[in-house]
Structure 1
Amino acid sequence: MYKKILVPLDGSLRAEAILPHVESLALRFNAEVALLYVDAGADLMFERDEVPDVDSFLDTRRRLIKKHHLYLQAIADKWHSTGIAAEVRIARGAVVAGIINAAKQTSADLVAMASHGEGGEERTFYGSVAASVLNRIDRPLLLIRSRYFKPIAS
């Protein structure tokens, strides 16, 4: 039924709620998996009069992308040992557009993701990224409710 499953992950435990479901589907249908991280770009804020250190900023971006690549590669390596073909993809730009573009580029016939990622709020049924993907995607979407929420630090 499914030949290629796209799995967007942001590195959070909440987003990982989808992984057991994807693993089961991939094994059952002998599907390939594309693990995706979308780098949304500048997430560092500067004061109005502050002059940003471009080299430092770019170095931070490179380290963050490398960290996410290694994270996804560890999942792919684990799945390879169980017979699942998995690839790692890094996209840049707006997260929702990155997910939708990756679904097209990989010819994914299923996009599978958790209801919440790093920034999601517990009281909502699904987060803003999941809602936007749901509204814009042109193929089946498996959305699993993420039940893991970090306590708010006091």
Structure 2
Amino acid sequence: MYTRILVPIDHSETSAAALQEATRLAVEQHAIVRLVHVIDLAQFAWSANEFLDVPQLQASLKEGGQSLLQEQAALLKKQAICTETALLEIWGGQIARTLVDEAQQWQAQLLVMGTHGYGGLTHMLLGSVAEGVMRHTHIPVLLVKAH
């Protein structure tokens, strides 16, 4: 039985599918769900500062992440699911490692996350956060692929 479910979310279809599955599990198991969203504040820092307002872009990332977390948490709370949220800020780090660390610190019993299921060259070029999580955690992971 899983009573603490961690769900990384973003704006993708795979994330939505994972959240739907986590919601189903949370209702069945009376679990607490922790929604997390990771933002990389370094992604614009190396850009040409004379062309971009880096602090404004970083603030926009934070606002967008908080908005996403609040929207999704509200949907879960409507279903009487105890929900927590966390915006995880990294500075050029590995998203997978950040998720694993958060899951361990929060004492998650299950990670539910979306995966695109890319293979071949696309996988080699883009990598996989889900694969990185699987490689570094001992916590059970449920990977959900969008239709």
Partner of 2:83: 86
Aligned mates of 1:69, 1:6 — CA distance in 2? 16
Deviations 1:58-96 (A, max 9, x none): 121111111111111111111111110111101122311
> Deviation of residue 26 (structure 1)?
0.2
Q: TM-score, normalised by structure 1?
A: 0.80
Aligned mates of 1:90, 1:66 — CA distance in 2? 10
Structure with greater helix percent? 2
> Are 1:77 and 2:65 an aligned pair?
no
Partner of 2:145: 145
Aligned mates of 2:53, 2:18 — CA distance in 1? 34
> Deviation of residue 97 (structure 1)?
1.5
Q: TM-score, normalised by structure 2?
A: 0.84
> Deviation of residue 40 (structure 1)?
2.0
Aligned mates of 2:86, 2:25 — CA distance in 1? 20
Partner of 2:15: 15
Aligned mates of 1:66, 1:27 — CA distance in 2? 29
* RMSD, aligned α-carbons: 2.4
Partner of 2:53: 56
Which structure 1 segments of 5+ residues have no match? 148-154
Deviations 1:87-121 (A, max 9, x none): 110112231121011101211100000113xxx74
| Seq. identity, % | 28
Aligned mates of 1:130, 1:80 — CA distance in 2? 26
Query: How many residues matched?
Result: 140
Q: Is the 8 A contact 1:11 1:68 kept in 2?
A: no
Partner of 2:29: 29
Aligned mates of 1:145, 1:100 — CA distance in 2? 20
One-letter amino acid of the structure 2 residue matched with residue 59 of structure 1: Q
Cα 1:30–1:54 change in 2 (3 A) is farther
Aligned mates of 1:41, 1:146 — CA distance in 2? 28
Aligned mates of 1:106, 1:41 — CA distance in 2? 23
Aligned mates of 2:103, 2:9 — CA distance in 1? 14
Partner of 2:95: 95
Cα 1:53–1:3 change in 2 (3 A) is farther
